[in-house]
Structure 1
Amino acid sequence: MVLALKQIQIDRLARIVRWLLAVVLVIWLARVLADSVLLWMAGPQQTPTVDPSMLRLTAINNEQGGALSPAEIERWKLFGIPPEQAPEQRAVDAPETRLRLELLGLFQNSTAEMARAIIAEQGKDAELFRPGDKVPGNAELVEVLGDRVILRRQGQLETLRLKEPELSGTVSASAPPPRRRSQPVVQESQPEPAQLLPDGDPAQQRAMIIQQLALEPVTEGAAEGYRITAGAPAAMLSSVGLRPGDQILSVNGHPLGEEQGDISALQEAMASGSASIEVQRGSRRFTVNYPP
Protein backbone atom coordinates (compact mmCIF):
# COMPACT_ATOMS: atom_id res chain seq x y z
CA MET A 1 0.00 0.00 0.00
CA VAL A 2 2.83 2.34 0.88
CA LEU A 3 4.61 1.53 -2.35
CA ALA A 4 1.49 2.33 -4.33
CA LEU A 5 1.19 5.73 -2.66
CA LYS A 6 4.87 6.52 -3.41
CA GLN A 7 4.43 5.57 -7.05
CA ILE A 8 1.40 7.86 -7.34
CA GLN A 9 3.41 10.74 -5.83
CA ILE A 10 6.31 10.15 -8.27
CA ASP A 11 3.96 10.14 -11.26
CA ARG A 12 2.32 13.34 -10.08
CA LEU A 13 5.71 15.03 -9.63
CA ALA A 14 6.85 13.95 -13.10
CA ARG A 15 3.71 15.43 -14.67
CA ILE A 16 4.36 18.74 -12.88
CA VAL A 17 7.96 18.84 -14.12
CA ARG A 18 6.93 18.12 -17.71
CA TRP A 19 4.30 20.82 -17.51
CA LEU A 20 6.83 23.37 -16.21
CA LEU A 21 9.29 22.50 -18.98
CA ALA A 22 6.60 22.94 -21.61
CA VAL A 23 5.67 26.34 -20.20
CA VAL A 24 9.31 27.48 -20.18
CA LEU A 25 9.82 26.30 -23.80
CA VAL A 26 6.69 28.13 -24.96
CA ILE A 27 7.82 31.34 -23.23
CA TRP A 28 11.31 31.10 -24.83
CA LEU A 29 9.91 30.54 -28.32
CA ALA A 30 7.51 33.46 -27.88
CA ARG A 31 10.41 35.71 -26.86
CA VAL A 32 12.52 34.70 -29.89
CA LEU A 33 9.59 35.25 -32.23
CA ALA A 34 8.85 38.66 -30.72
CA ASP A 35 12.51 39.77 -31.08
CA SER A 36 12.58 38.64 -34.71
CA VAL A 37 9.43 40.59 -35.54
CA LEU A 38 10.73 43.73 -33.81
CA LEU A 39 14.11 43.47 -35.60
CA TRP A 40 12.41 43.09 -38.99
CA MET A 41 10.16 46.08 -38.35
CA ALA A 42 12.90 48.36 -37.00
CA GLY A 43 15.51 47.59 -39.70
CA PRO A 44 19.32 48.00 -39.23
CA GLN A 45 20.41 50.34 -36.46
CA GLN A 46 23.32 51.89 -38.46
CA THR A 47 24.32 52.31 -42.08
CA PRO A 48 27.31 50.15 -43.04
CA THR A 49 30.43 52.12 -44.01
CA VAL A 50 31.90 51.66 -47.48
CA ASP A 51 35.64 51.55 -48.05
CA PRO A 52 36.38 54.44 -50.48
CA SER A 53 39.12 52.35 -52.11
CA MET A 54 36.58 49.76 -53.26
CA LEU A 55 35.23 50.02 -56.77
CA ARG A 56 31.63 51.20 -56.89
CA LEU A 57 29.44 51.06 -59.97
CA THR A 58 26.69 53.61 -60.34
CA ALA A 59 23.47 52.81 -62.14
CA ILE A 60 22.99 54.58 -65.43
CA ASN A 61 19.48 55.70 -66.24
CA ASN A 62 19.20 56.87 -69.84
CA GLU A 63 16.95 56.54 -72.81
CA GLN A 64 18.82 53.46 -74.10
CA GLY A 65 17.48 51.22 -71.41
CA GLY A 66 20.64 51.25 -69.21
CA ALA A 67 23.17 50.44 -71.97
CA LEU A 68 26.76 51.23 -71.01
CA SER A 69 28.85 53.48 -73.21
CA PRO A 70 32.51 52.65 -73.98
CA ALA A 71 33.55 55.80 -72.14
CA GLU A 72 31.83 54.61 -68.93
CA ILE A 73 33.44 51.17 -69.18
CA GLU A 74 36.85 52.74 -69.77
CA ARG A 75 36.47 54.89 -66.62
CA TRP A 76 36.03 51.73 -64.54
CA LYS A 77 39.66 50.70 -65.22
CA LEU A 78 38.72 47.03 -65.25
CA PHE A 79 42.25 46.02 -66.20
CA GLY A 80 44.07 48.45 -63.96
CA ILE A 81 45.87 51.67 -64.77
CA PRO A 82 48.89 51.32 -67.06
CA PRO A 83 52.11 52.84 -65.70
CA GLU A 84 53.07 56.17 -67.10
CA GLN A 85 55.92 55.98 -69.57
CA ALA A 86 58.85 58.16 -68.77
CA PRO A 87 59.43 60.75 -71.47
CA GLU A 88 62.26 59.88 -73.82
CA GLN A 89 65.35 61.74 -72.75
CA ARG A 90 67.52 63.05 -75.55
CA ALA A 91 70.64 65.11 -75.22
CA VAL A 92 70.04 68.74 -76.08
CA ASP A 93 71.94 70.39 -78.91
CA ALA A 94 75.36 71.18 -77.52
CA PRO A 95 78.16 73.36 -78.90
CA GLU A 96 81.10 71.81 -80.72
CA THR A 97 83.84 70.61 -78.41
CA ARG A 98 87.24 72.25 -78.51
CA LEU A 99 89.03 69.09 -77.46
CA ARG A 100 91.56 67.70 -79.91
CA LEU A 101 89.52 64.57 -80.48
CA GLU A 102 88.35 62.75 -83.60
CA LEU A 103 85.23 60.59 -83.79
CA LEU A 104 86.17 57.80 -86.18
CA GLY A 105 83.21 55.43 -85.91
CA LEU A 106 79.86 54.76 -84.25
CA PHE A 107 78.03 51.62 -83.20
CA GLN A 108 74.50 52.56 -82.25
CA ASN A 109 72.15 50.26 -80.36
CA SER A 110 68.53 50.44 -79.21
CA THR A 111 69.92 50.01 -75.68
CA ALA A 112 71.98 53.11 -74.93
CA GLU A 113 74.42 51.21 -72.71
CA MET A 114 75.32 48.90 -75.61
CA ALA A 115 76.31 51.72 -77.98
CA ARG A 116 80.00 52.27 -78.74
CA ALA A 117 82.13 55.05 -80.22
CA ILE A 118 85.64 54.97 -81.71
CA ILE A 119 87.41 58.11 -80.52
CA ALA A 120 91.05 59.11 -80.99
CA GLU A 121 93.08 61.94 -79.59
CA GLN A 122 94.74 63.73 -82.49
CA GLY A 123 98.04 62.08 -83.23
CA LYS A 124 97.31 59.01 -81.08
CA ASP A 125 95.67 55.63 -81.53
CA ALA A 126 91.91 55.31 -81.45
CA GLU A 127 90.10 53.56 -78.62
CA LEU A 128 86.64 52.10 -78.12
CA PHE A 129 84.39 53.86 -75.60
CA ARG A 130 80.94 53.23 -74.17
CA PRO A 131 78.55 55.71 -72.49
CA GLY A 132 79.93 56.61 -69.08
CA ASP A 133 83.60 56.09 -70.03
CA LYS A 134 86.18 58.80 -69.58
CA VAL A 135 87.66 60.10 -72.83
CA PRO A 136 90.88 62.09 -73.32
CA GLY A 137 90.59 65.69 -72.22
CA ASN A 138 88.96 64.97 -68.84
CA ALA A 139 85.55 64.47 -70.47
CA GLU A 140 82.87 61.79 -70.21
CA LEU A 141 81.01 60.10 -73.05
CA VAL A 142 77.30 60.73 -72.38
CA GLU A 143 75.41 59.53 -75.47
CA VAL A 144 76.05 58.02 -78.89
CA LEU A 145 73.85 59.45 -81.66
CA GLY A 146 73.61 58.74 -85.37
CA ASP A 147 76.26 61.19 -86.55
CA ARG A 148 77.86 62.49 -83.35
CA VAL A 149 78.46 61.84 -79.68
CA ILE A 150 77.66 64.00 -76.67
CA LEU A 151 80.43 64.66 -74.16
CA ARG A 152 80.26 66.17 -70.68
CA ARG A 153 83.21 68.34 -69.66
CA GLN A 154 83.25 70.44 -66.51
CA GLY A 155 79.49 69.98 -66.19
CA GLN A 156 78.76 71.25 -69.71
CA LEU A 157 77.56 69.20 -72.70
CA GLU A 158 79.62 69.33 -75.88
CA THR A 159 79.27 67.74 -79.33
CA LEU A 160 81.90 65.69 -81.14
CA ARG A 161 80.83 65.01 -84.73
CA LEU A 162 81.72 62.07 -86.90
CA LYS A 163 84.94 62.54 -88.82
CA GLU A 164 84.28 62.74 -92.54
CA PRO A 165 85.75 59.81 -94.50
CA GLU A 166 88.75 60.77 -96.57
CA LEU A 167 88.18 58.00 -99.13
CA SER A 168 85.12 56.60 -100.86
CA GLY A 169 84.42 53.26 -102.48
CA THR A 170 87.02 50.50 -102.07
CA VAL A 171 89.86 51.51 -99.79
CA SER A 172 93.36 50.09 -99.96
CA ALA A 173 95.58 50.38 -96.90
CA SER A 174 98.83 49.98 -98.85
CA ALA A 175 99.38 53.73 -98.83
CA PRO A 176 97.34 55.32 -96.01
CA PRO A 177 96.68 59.03 -96.58
CA PRO A 178 98.11 61.58 -94.14
CA ARG A 179 95.96 62.68 -91.22
CA ARG A 180 94.15 65.92 -91.87
CA ARG A 181 92.56 68.33 -89.48
CA SER A 182 88.83 68.16 -88.94
CA GLN A 183 87.03 70.95 -90.79
CA PRO A 184 84.49 73.00 -88.85
CA VAL A 185 80.94 71.89 -89.45
CA VAL A 186 78.76 74.52 -91.12
CA GLN A 187 75.12 74.19 -90.17
CA GLU A 188 73.85 75.54 -93.52
CA SER A 189 75.77 72.92 -95.53
CA GLN A 190 74.33 69.92 -93.72
CA PRO A 191 71.68 67.89 -95.59
CA GLU A 192 68.12 67.86 -94.42
CA PRO A 193 67.34 65.29 -91.67
CA ALA A 194 65.11 63.34 -94.05
CA GLN A 195 68.16 62.69 -96.26
CA LEU A 196 70.18 61.11 -93.42
CA LEU A 197 69.96 57.45 -92.59
CA PRO A 198 69.16 56.73 -88.91
CA ASP A 199 72.60 55.24 -88.24
CA GLY A 200 74.56 57.17 -90.90
CA ASP A 201 75.48 56.15 -94.47
CA PRO A 202 76.56 52.46 -94.29
CA ALA A 203 78.87 52.81 -97.31
CA GLN A 204 80.67 55.76 -95.73
CA GLN A 205 80.92 53.99 -92.39
CA ARG A 206 82.36 50.93 -94.15
CA ALA A 207 84.99 53.04 -95.90
CA MET A 208 85.83 54.83 -92.67
CA ILE A 209 86.24 51.62 -90.66
CA ILE A 210 88.45 50.06 -93.33
CA GLN A 211 90.65 53.14 -93.34
CA GLN A 212 90.86 53.78 -89.60
CA LEU A 213 91.46 50.12 -88.71
CA ALA A 214 94.11 49.86 -91.43
CA LEU A 215 92.49 46.89 -93.16
CA GLU A 216 93.42 45.62 -96.62
CA PRO A 217 91.46 43.08 -98.66
CA VAL A 218 92.99 39.62 -98.86
CA THR A 219 91.90 39.49 -102.51
CA GLU A 220 90.70 42.65 -104.22
CA GLY A 221 86.98 42.43 -105.09
CA ALA A 222 86.46 38.99 -103.51
CA ALA A 223 84.71 38.00 -100.27
CA GLU A 224 87.84 36.54 -98.72
CA GLY A 225 88.09 38.90 -95.79
CA TYR A 226 90.49 41.64 -94.68
CA ARG A 227 94.01 41.52 -93.34
CA ILE A 228 94.93 43.67 -90.34
CA THR A 229 98.04 45.73 -91.14
CA ALA A 230 100.61 47.30 -88.87
CA GLY A 231 98.80 50.65 -88.92
CA ALA A 232 95.80 49.34 -86.93
CA PRO A 233 95.19 50.95 -83.49
CA ALA A 234 96.91 48.76 -80.90
CA ALA A 235 94.41 49.54 -78.13
CA MET A 236 91.46 48.40 -80.21
CA LEU A 237 93.21 45.21 -81.31
CA SER A 238 94.10 44.29 -77.74
CA SER A 239 90.47 44.79 -76.61
CA VAL A 240 89.35 41.91 -78.86
CA GLY A 241 92.54 39.85 -78.80
CA LEU A 242 93.66 40.49 -82.40
CA ARG A 243 97.02 41.52 -83.84
CA PRO A 244 98.48 42.69 -87.14
CA GLY A 245 98.59 39.92 -89.72
CA ASP A 246 95.28 38.36 -88.63
CA GLN A 247 92.67 37.93 -91.33
CA ILE A 248 89.06 38.84 -90.50
CA LEU A 249 86.97 36.44 -92.59
CA SER A 250 83.39 37.12 -91.50
CA VAL A 251 81.24 38.94 -88.93
CA ASN A 252 78.02 37.31 -87.68
CA GLY A 253 78.21 34.85 -90.55
CA HIS A 254 78.52 37.54 -93.27
CA PRO A 255 81.66 37.04 -95.41
CA LEU A 256 83.77 40.19 -95.68
CA GLY A 257 85.61 41.65 -98.64
CA GLU A 258 82.73 42.85 -100.83
CA GLU A 259 80.68 45.96 -100.20
CA GLN A 260 77.28 44.26 -99.82
CA GLY A 261 78.54 41.67 -97.33
CA ASP A 262 80.46 44.32 -95.40
CA ILE A 263 77.36 46.54 -95.10
CA SER A 264 75.16 43.61 -94.01
CA ALA A 265 77.67 42.67 -91.31
CA LEU A 266 77.97 46.29 -90.16
CA GLN A 267 74.20 46.82 -89.94
CA GLU A 268 73.60 43.59 -88.04
CA ALA A 269 76.41 44.30 -85.58
CA MET A 270 75.06 47.83 -84.97
CA ALA A 271 71.51 46.54 -84.47
CA SER A 272 72.42 43.72 -82.07
CA GLY A 273 75.28 45.43 -80.26
CA SER A 274 77.41 42.30 -80.53
CA ALA A 275 79.51 40.55 -83.14
CA SER A 276 80.91 37.08 -83.71
CA ILE A 277 84.17 37.60 -85.64
CA GLU A 278 85.76 34.71 -87.52
CA VAL A 279 89.55 35.13 -87.65
CA GLN A 280 92.34 33.23 -89.34
CA ARG A 281 95.83 33.40 -87.84
CA GLY A 282 98.27 31.44 -89.92
CA SER A 283 96.71 28.03 -90.48
CA ARG A 284 94.42 28.28 -87.45
CA ARG A 285 90.85 29.62 -87.45
CA PHE A 286 89.01 30.82 -84.38
CA THR A 287 86.06 33.01 -83.37
CA VAL A 288 86.20 36.19 -81.29
CA ASN A 289 83.02 37.45 -79.62
CA TYR A 290 82.47 41.16 -79.05
CA PRO A 291 81.71 42.28 -76.41
CA PRO A 292 83.82 39.51 -74.82
Structure 2
Amino acid sequence: MKPAGRTNTPKEWALAIGGGLALSAGLVWALRGGGDDTAPSPAPPPPPAPIAAAPPPPVAAAVSAPTDLALAGLRAGPDGGMAIVVAGGKQYLLRPGRALPGGVKLLRVEPGRAILAGPSGEMVLAFADAAPAMAGPAAPPGGDPTPWRLALSPLREQGRMVGWRLDSVAGLPALGRAGLKPGDVLLSANGAELISEEKIMELPQELAANGRLQIVYQRGNARREAVVNP
Protein backbone atom coordinates (compact mmCIF):
# COMPACT_ATOMS: atom_id res chain seq x y z
CA MET A 1 0.00 0.00 0.00
CA LYS A 2 1.48 3.25 -1.02
CA PRO A 3 1.95 5.93 1.66
CA ALA A 4 -0.44 8.85 1.65
CA GLY A 5 0.58 11.66 -0.55
CA ARG A 6 2.92 9.53 -2.71
CA THR A 7 2.38 9.52 -6.50
CA ASN A 8 3.17 6.67 -8.90
CA THR A 9 6.36 6.88 -10.84
CA PRO A 10 6.40 6.51 -14.65
CA LYS A 11 7.92 3.07 -14.28
CA GLU A 12 5.08 1.97 -12.02
CA TRP A 13 2.54 3.33 -14.50
CA ALA A 14 4.21 1.37 -17.32
CA LEU A 15 4.15 -1.86 -15.32
CA ALA A 16 0.47 -1.36 -14.52
CA ILE A 17 -0.43 -0.71 -18.12
CA GLY A 18 1.65 -3.68 -19.34
CA GLY A 19 0.00 -6.00 -16.84
CA GLY A 20 -3.43 -4.89 -17.98
CA LEU A 21 -2.55 -5.56 -21.57
CA ALA A 22 -1.20 -8.99 -20.69
CA LEU A 23 -4.34 -9.80 -18.75
CA SER A 24 -6.53 -8.77 -21.75
CA ALA A 25 -4.47 -10.91 -24.10
CA GLY A 26 -4.85 -13.90 -21.78
CA LEU A 27 -8.60 -13.49 -21.70
CA VAL A 28 -8.75 -13.36 -25.50
CA TRP A 29 -6.52 -16.45 -25.74
CA ALA A 30 -8.80 -18.36 -23.31
CA LEU A 31 -11.95 -17.33 -25.13
CA ARG A 32 -10.50 -18.55 -28.45
CA GLY A 33 -9.99 -22.07 -27.18
CA GLY A 34 -6.62 -22.08 -25.49
CA GLY A 35 -4.44 -21.09 -28.39
CA ASP A 36 -5.91 -23.28 -31.12
CA ASP A 37 -5.78 -20.75 -33.92
CA THR A 38 -6.57 -23.17 -36.79
CA ALA A 39 -9.54 -22.14 -38.92
CA PRO A 40 -12.55 -24.48 -38.86
CA SER A 41 -12.69 -26.91 -41.79
CA PRO A 42 -15.21 -25.88 -44.43
CA ALA A 43 -18.30 -28.06 -44.78
CA PRO A 44 -17.93 -30.69 -47.53
CA PRO A 45 -19.79 -29.79 -50.73
CA PRO A 46 -23.06 -31.62 -51.34
CA PRO A 47 -22.76 -34.67 -53.59
CA PRO A 48 -23.58 -34.01 -57.26
CA ALA A 49 -27.09 -34.83 -58.36
CA PRO A 50 -27.28 -38.14 -60.22
CA ILE A 51 -27.45 -37.80 -64.01
CA ALA A 52 -30.46 -39.53 -65.50
CA ALA A 53 -29.60 -42.08 -68.14
CA ALA A 54 -30.71 -41.21 -71.65
CA PRO A 55 -33.64 -43.31 -72.87
CA PRO A 56 -32.73 -45.92 -75.49
CA PRO A 57 -33.43 -44.94 -79.10
CA PRO A 58 -36.71 -46.22 -80.50
CA VAL A 59 -36.44 -49.47 -82.36
CA ALA A 60 -37.83 -49.35 -85.89
CA ALA A 61 -40.49 -51.88 -86.65
CA ALA A 62 -39.09 -54.72 -88.70
CA VAL A 63 -40.61 -55.32 -92.12
CA SER A 64 -40.82 -59.00 -92.84
CA ALA A 65 -39.81 -60.25 -96.25
CA PRO A 66 -42.60 -61.83 -98.33
CA THR A 67 -42.65 -65.61 -98.28
CA ASP A 68 -44.88 -66.29 -101.30
CA LEU A 69 -42.38 -65.34 -103.98
CA ALA A 70 -42.83 -66.66 -107.51
CA LEU A 71 -41.13 -65.97 -110.81
CA ALA A 72 -43.53 -64.65 -113.44
CA GLY A 73 -41.13 -63.43 -116.11
CA LEU A 74 -37.46 -63.27 -116.94
CA ARG A 75 -35.18 -61.59 -119.45
CA ALA A 76 -31.41 -61.79 -119.61
CA GLY A 77 -29.33 -59.26 -121.52
CA PRO A 78 -26.20 -57.13 -121.55
CA ASP A 79 -28.00 -54.50 -119.43
CA GLY A 80 -28.29 -57.00 -116.57
CA GLY A 81 -31.75 -58.21 -117.56
CA MET A 82 -34.86 -58.12 -115.43
CA ALA A 83 -37.17 -60.40 -113.51
CA ILE A 84 -40.90 -60.16 -112.87
CA VAL A 85 -41.52 -61.46 -109.36
CA VAL A 86 -44.90 -62.13 -107.75
CA ALA A 87 -45.02 -61.21 -104.04
CA GLY A 88 -48.13 -60.81 -101.93
CA GLY A 89 -50.37 -61.25 -104.97
CA LYS A 90 -48.71 -58.35 -106.82
CA GLN A 91 -46.17 -58.37 -109.63
CA TYR A 92 -42.97 -56.34 -109.45
CA LEU A 93 -40.48 -55.65 -112.20
CA LEU A 94 -37.00 -55.91 -110.73
CA ARG A 95 -33.67 -55.06 -112.23
CA PRO A 96 -30.43 -56.05 -110.48
CA GLY A 97 -30.14 -53.96 -107.32
CA ARG A 98 -33.85 -53.22 -106.93
CA ALA A 99 -35.73 -54.62 -103.94
CA LEU A 100 -39.21 -55.85 -103.08
CA PRO A 101 -41.14 -54.55 -100.04
CA GLY A 102 -39.44 -56.19 -97.10
CA GLY A 103 -35.93 -55.85 -98.48
CA VAL A 104 -35.55 -58.89 -100.78
CA LYS A 105 -33.24 -57.68 -103.56
CA LEU A 106 -32.57 -59.03 -107.03
CA LEU A 107 -28.86 -59.81 -107.28
CA ARG A 108 -28.61 -61.11 -110.86
CA VAL A 109 -30.46 -62.82 -113.67
CA GLU A 110 -29.23 -66.16 -114.99
CA PRO A 111 -30.63 -68.36 -117.78
CA GLY A 112 -33.93 -69.71 -116.50
CA ARG A 113 -33.70 -68.29 -113.00
CA ALA A 114 -33.36 -65.21 -110.82
CA ILE A 115 -31.03 -64.94 -107.84
CA LEU A 116 -32.30 -62.84 -104.95
CA ALA A 117 -30.89 -61.91 -101.57
CA GLY A 118 -33.02 -61.87 -98.42
CA PRO A 119 -32.52 -61.83 -94.64
CA SER A 120 -31.61 -65.54 -94.64
CA GLY A 121 -29.20 -65.36 -97.60
CA GLU A 122 -29.50 -66.00 -101.31
CA MET A 123 -32.57 -67.60 -102.83
CA VAL A 124 -33.31 -68.93 -106.30
CA LEU A 125 -36.53 -68.46 -108.26
CA ALA A 126 -37.11 -70.43 -111.44
CA PHE A 127 -39.93 -71.55 -113.72
CA ALA A 128 -41.85 -74.81 -113.34
CA ASP A 129 -39.93 -76.56 -116.13
CA ALA A 130 -36.57 -75.98 -114.43
CA ALA A 131 -34.68 -78.64 -112.54
CA PRO A 132 -36.37 -79.89 -109.34
CA ALA A 133 -33.80 -78.13 -107.18
CA MET A 134 -34.84 -74.86 -108.76
CA ALA A 135 -38.55 -75.50 -109.05
CA GLY A 136 -40.72 -72.40 -109.29
CA PRO A 137 -44.49 -71.83 -109.30
CA ALA A 138 -46.78 -74.04 -111.38
CA ALA A 139 -47.69 -71.10 -113.62
CA PRO A 140 -47.65 -67.31 -113.35
CA PRO A 141 -51.09 -66.11 -112.25
CA GLY A 142 -53.02 -64.90 -115.28
CA GLY A 143 -50.25 -65.64 -117.79
CA ASP A 144 -46.72 -64.49 -118.40
CA PRO A 145 -46.39 -60.66 -118.48
CA THR A 146 -42.91 -60.80 -119.99
CA PRO A 147 -44.12 -60.48 -123.65
CA TRP A 148 -46.09 -57.37 -122.72
CA ARG A 149 -43.11 -55.75 -121.06
CA LEU A 150 -40.77 -56.64 -123.92
CA ALA A 151 -43.14 -55.44 -126.64
CA LEU A 152 -43.83 -52.05 -124.99
CA SER A 153 -41.57 -49.08 -124.31
CA PRO A 154 -42.42 -46.32 -121.82
CA LEU A 155 -43.28 -42.96 -123.36
CA ARG A 156 -42.52 -39.86 -121.32
CA GLU A 157 -43.31 -36.21 -121.84
CA GLN A 158 -41.50 -33.61 -119.71
CA GLY A 159 -40.32 -36.38 -117.41
CA ARG A 160 -43.81 -37.80 -116.84
CA MET A 161 -44.90 -41.18 -118.13
CA VAL A 162 -47.96 -40.84 -120.38
CA GLY A 163 -48.23 -44.28 -121.97
CA TRP A 164 -46.48 -47.22 -123.62
CA ARG A 165 -45.40 -47.40 -127.25
CA LEU A 166 -46.08 -50.69 -128.99
CA ASP A 167 -42.83 -51.78 -130.62
CA SER A 168 -43.95 -55.16 -131.97
CA VAL A 169 -47.06 -57.33 -132.07
CA ALA A 170 -45.12 -60.54 -132.73
CA GLY A 171 -45.20 -61.50 -129.05
CA LEU A 172 -48.69 -60.07 -128.47
CA PRO A 173 -50.91 -61.41 -131.25
CA ALA A 174 -54.01 -60.45 -129.27
CA LEU A 175 -53.17 -56.78 -129.81
CA GLY A 176 -52.67 -57.39 -133.52
CA ARG A 177 -56.06 -59.07 -133.77
CA ALA A 178 -57.59 -56.02 -132.06
CA GLY A 179 -56.20 -53.76 -134.79
CA LEU A 180 -53.22 -52.24 -132.99
CA LYS A 181 -50.00 -51.64 -134.94
CA PRO A 182 -46.38 -50.90 -134.02
CA GLY A 183 -46.04 -47.24 -133.14
CA ASP A 184 -49.42 -47.03 -131.40
CA VAL A 185 -49.25 -45.69 -127.83
CA LEU A 186 -51.33 -47.49 -125.20
CA LEU A 187 -52.85 -44.92 -122.82
CA SER A 188 -55.28 -46.87 -120.62
CA ALA A 189 -56.79 -50.30 -120.07
CA ASN A 190 -60.30 -50.77 -118.66
CA GLY A 191 -60.30 -47.13 -117.57
CA ALA A 192 -56.95 -47.20 -115.70
CA GLU A 193 -54.05 -45.12 -117.00
CA LEU A 194 -50.97 -47.10 -117.98
CA ILE A 195 -48.39 -44.95 -116.23
CA SER A 196 -46.34 -47.58 -114.38
CA GLU A 197 -44.50 -50.81 -115.10
CA GLU A 198 -46.56 -52.59 -112.46
CA LYS A 199 -49.77 -51.76 -114.33
CA ILE A 200 -48.39 -53.24 -117.56
CA MET A 201 -47.49 -56.45 -115.75
CA GLU A 202 -51.03 -56.70 -114.37
CA LEU A 203 -52.62 -56.67 -117.84
CA PRO A 204 -52.34 -60.46 -118.42
CA GLN A 205 -54.08 -61.12 -115.10
CA GLU A 206 -56.79 -58.59 -115.90
CA LEU A 207 -57.30 -60.04 -119.37
CA ALA A 208 -57.58 -63.56 -117.94
CA ALA A 209 -59.97 -62.46 -115.17
CA ASN A 210 -62.28 -60.25 -117.27
CA GLY A 211 -61.94 -61.95 -120.65
CA ARG A 212 -61.31 -58.62 -122.37
CA LEU A 213 -59.34 -55.39 -122.20
CA GLN A 214 -60.82 -52.08 -123.29
CA ILE A 215 -57.72 -50.32 -124.63
CA VAL A 216 -57.48 -46.60 -125.35
CA TYR A 217 -54.51 -45.84 -127.57
CA GLN A 218 -53.15 -43.04 -129.69
CA ARG A 219 -52.17 -43.31 -133.33
CA GLY A 220 -50.63 -40.12 -134.64
CA ASN A 221 -52.78 -37.30 -133.33
CA ALA A 222 -55.96 -39.36 -132.98
CA ARG A 223 -57.18 -41.36 -130.00
CA ARG A 224 -58.81 -44.69 -130.66
CA GLU A 225 -60.29 -47.58 -128.75
CA ALA A 226 -59.96 -51.32 -129.20
CA VAL A 227 -61.22 -54.42 -127.41
CA VAL A 228 -58.52 -57.02 -126.79
CA ASN A 229 -59.66 -60.60 -126.29
CA PRO A 230 -57.47 -63.54 -125.17
Shorter-chain TM-score tier: 0.3 to 0.5
| Larger helix proportion of the pair | 1
Q: TM-score, normalised by structure 2?
A: 0.39
Q: Which has the larger radius of gyration?
A: 2
Q: TM-score, normalised by structure 1?
A: 0.32
